[in-house]
Chains A and B, each alone.
Chain A
Amino acid sequence: MKKVILVQRNEPGSDNGVNEGKLAELKELARAAHYQVVGVLTQTRYPDRKYQVGRGKVDELAVFVEVSGADKVIFNHQLSTTQIYNISETCKCEVIDRFNLILEIFASRATTRRAKLQVELARLQYELPKARSIVSLLKKDERPGFMGLGGYEDSYEQDVKKRIVRIRNEIHSSCKSSESLRSFRHERGFSLVALAGYTNAGKSTLFQSLVKEGTEVEDMLFTTLSPTTRSLSINQRRVLLTDTVGFIEDLPHWMVDAFRSTLDEIFLADVILLVVDMSDPVEVIRQKLVVSHDIFWKRIEGVEIVTVLNKVDMVEPDDLKRKVDEISYLAPHPVLISASSGDGFEALVDKIYENLPQWDRSRIALDMSEESLSMVSWLYDEGIVHSIDYGEQIVLDIEAREEILQKVSKFNIDDHRVLS
């Protein structure tokens, strides 16, 4: 794990609670990017053009970096090229800002081709205004060799612009690919469940607990896919559970597209677990839910939402009831849990099961043959085999999605249909 130091400059006269909230979110983001936070520096002052924080604070930071062995420094502000350059020269280590950090998280979580392209696009858009200043900054410092480069300044910027155009085109033509990932997974008899909600709601904690509790389906194809997707069995139904970055507050507009595409995993799910931190004040909960509905609107069709009201262990029963009442009109299929203690998991699993895509049941009879035996194993992969009897014929009681039952419908022995 790489070690990082976080730096935050607070505006003079700004609200303490708000500042603490911002710092807490930065910590969460650093954790999500798999950094180990070894220290935090804050300073209250107006921004410094050259260093963001004060010159003296940067010297202090440099010492801090050296003793703690930090690999990186993360500022909770957008930094100019000059500032990044100056701070990293002083601290002798890599310096990034909040937006670079969010881009890193997106990049590591982007699984679909489209999501990857969109993250790259956001990165280039972030780089574009800097493309010019990097060159002039290096010129100003009279680095040898730069004066002789002539048109480099223009061509660097042109290069970034060209790549932006190319990626935009590619995104346009690859819109369909994430859909195919979904149908591929469905073809393997899985239903898709994704965790959504704001940073710190408890998504990852719930993910870990569900994975630990549930019997994991052994399937190399999926367990190797990504560390944030696991296969589980929920009342015999095979489910792929995906943890996501979730929703992040105050995203700059140029990052919104990248953010939306990493949410593909959520929009393409069959069931969304919308995790809510019930220890937040009720007005905050309501606001976050409204934004969540806004994000879902027109992006999910036929996807069921289960609202996971988490951290009930932190709220007084009376208070909890009042909060639940107040937000119920924004909470589809609500269920109260504590992800850390495991309270309410049974109800949650039932809720997930109830909202999985409908599967139907059917009894079929197959003649004994090599072909039938391979069909039986295919049915085991695709659905649930409730019973199987090997007699003169192989008689199966199966549960599966409609396409599968359709394929074996000619072997159906339900109701009035008689064995031939």
Chain B
Amino acid sequence: MRKVVTGNMAAAIGAKLCKPDVISAYPITPQTTIVEYIADFVADGSLKTQYVKVESEHSAMAACISASNLGVRTFTATSSHGLLLMHEMLGWASGARLPVVMVNVNRAIGPPWSVWVDHLDAIMQRDTGWIHIFAENNQEVLDSMIMMYKICEDHDVLLPGMIHEDAFYLSHTSEPVDIPDQSKVDEFLPKYKALVKMDLDNPLGFGSLVMPDNYMEFRYKIALAMDNVREKIIEVDADFKRLFGRSYGGMLDLYRCEDAEYVLLGAGTTASTVREVVDELREQGKKVGLARLRVFRPFPYEEIRKLARSVKAIGVFERAFAFGYMGPFMAEIGGALYNTDIRIPIKDYIIGLGGRDVRTKHIHAIFNDLEKIANSGKLDKELKWFGLNDGNRPEEEM
């Protein structure tokens, strides 16, 4: 069934379709409507779940973790400061190998207060042992939730996962979304079967003290599980396509990259704007493309290496900045390419922080800049804060 819904409604419907046994969440702008829609579903009887209305995001994640330890499916949603408050418990979920799934609405971190999109909240959770998927549109929010449970609950994985949606551009913007049939979702996503769980007949301790002679092995197993995720994502994406007719390109979503000479690489809704500009420039005969960083953890370094071999330059667009260094994606891409013979220029464009609009004209300006770099093979500078209000109108005419 096709419906016109916001990203938050898509997330709430996604939660309903995946039938979590326990949901625990706490409101924060712009995630709030997710918790409200879920409450409506519970109130009208269309969602049978234990809805634990906690007093903080920290407790929301703690309740999900403790419930998940009993082998039941759990869900939560948050944003920005809420995600930061959860941080301690995020590590607990992955360390305890629990497939908790969450939707995070990407929002800037204050002060100054801002409720608009920015990816730093997600980036700050990079090393927590969670799988990270950035959605580009509302359909992908919903579809990724169904796929995420399937990936996380796989016994070769058993890790938690979060789906990121851009504040307002997705959370509060309505788009047509195909709502899959419950029966098909049930077929694709059977009930979660835990490998071990809290069980009166087999009383075990979960998460106890481990001495230095064993701790490393626990961490290593998480690393292996995270490596398994790469294959699983591709496998689940293909299965999903077979059943629902939609695919998201697995780890790195490539658009018109086959013969591209220079490409833009980045995550979130900006990718849609880039897609449009790619089409316009292709009309003009320019060989451009988009590589959408759909999966941030595990990082698609192989896919990026492969792409980098075939292009002359890469521009990275990112809605986050890692203070004291550069854009977080840029740093990671540099790391992915260093131990190879690939030596192409890569330029980092910091854009749209705190919800600043990024329009097609801005992407055109970035592609123009990148074209010069691709043709000359020379990088003027590694990093550009694109379109700052610095008093004199910048060359991009913000």
Q: Do A and B originate from a single complex?
A: no
Q: Which B residues are closer than 8 A to A by beta carbons?
A: none
Q: Which A residues are closer than 8 A to B by beta carbons?
A: none
